[in-house]
Structure formats: C-alpha cells, structure tokens
C-alpha cells in the first residue's frame, strides 16, 4: 500500500507537468522485477522504447535525436 508521503510526492511530480511517457520511463527505472513485468505487459511499446533508449548512447535512437544531443553538448 502507498503512503501519504507517496501521495504528496506524486503531487510534486505532477506539478512539474511531465509527459506520461517520461513517468512510465521513470517507473521502469524504479520498478522491482514483479512490477517491471506488470509495466511491460501494460505498456509494451513504452517498455521496448525505454530499453532501446537505455542501450543507445545518450538515449538517442534517431539521427535527429543524436544531432540534438551533440548540439546540447556544445
């Protein structure tokens, strides 16, 4: 069961207006094996993309994203 602290932290997270995908990516990063499997079954496309990005340099998987990463590093 979640706690009041979890609820209050969720308010802080949502106040920053993150995208749904970024929240799911964060869930994937934090999940234990049982919950990770639930996430994978619920959002398989996002799970696959997260794994692809995790293994790609800088998380960039397209040429334009790679260019963006290079520009950000200048």
Rounded to whole angstroms, how far apart are CA atoms 74 and 71?
Answer: 5
How high is the pLDDT of residue 29? 97
Rounded to whole angstroms, how far apart are CA atoms 63 and 37?
Answer: 30
How high is the pLDDT of residue 41? 98
Q: Tell me the whole-structure pTM to 2 decimals.
A: 0.84
Give residue-wise pLDDT tens across range 4-62.
999 999 999 999 999 999 999 999 999 999 999 999 999 999 999 999 999 999 999 99
Task: Report the 3 state secondary structure along the chain.
Answer: CCCHHHHHHHHHHHHCCCCHHHHHHHHHHHCCHHHHHHHHHHCHHHHHHHHHHHHCHHHCCCHHHHHHHHHHCC
How high is the pLDDT of residue 20? 97
How high is the pLDDT of residue 46? 98
């Amino acid at each position: 069961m979640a706690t009041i602290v979890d609820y209050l932290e969720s308010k802080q997270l949502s106040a920053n207006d993150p995208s749904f995908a970024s929240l799911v990516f964060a869930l994937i990063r934090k999940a234990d094996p049982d919950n990770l499997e639930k996430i994978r079954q619920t959002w398989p496309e996002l799970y696959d993309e997260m794994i692809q990005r995790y293994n790609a340099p800088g998380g960039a998987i397209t040429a334009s994203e790679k260019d963006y990463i290079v520009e950000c590093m200048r």
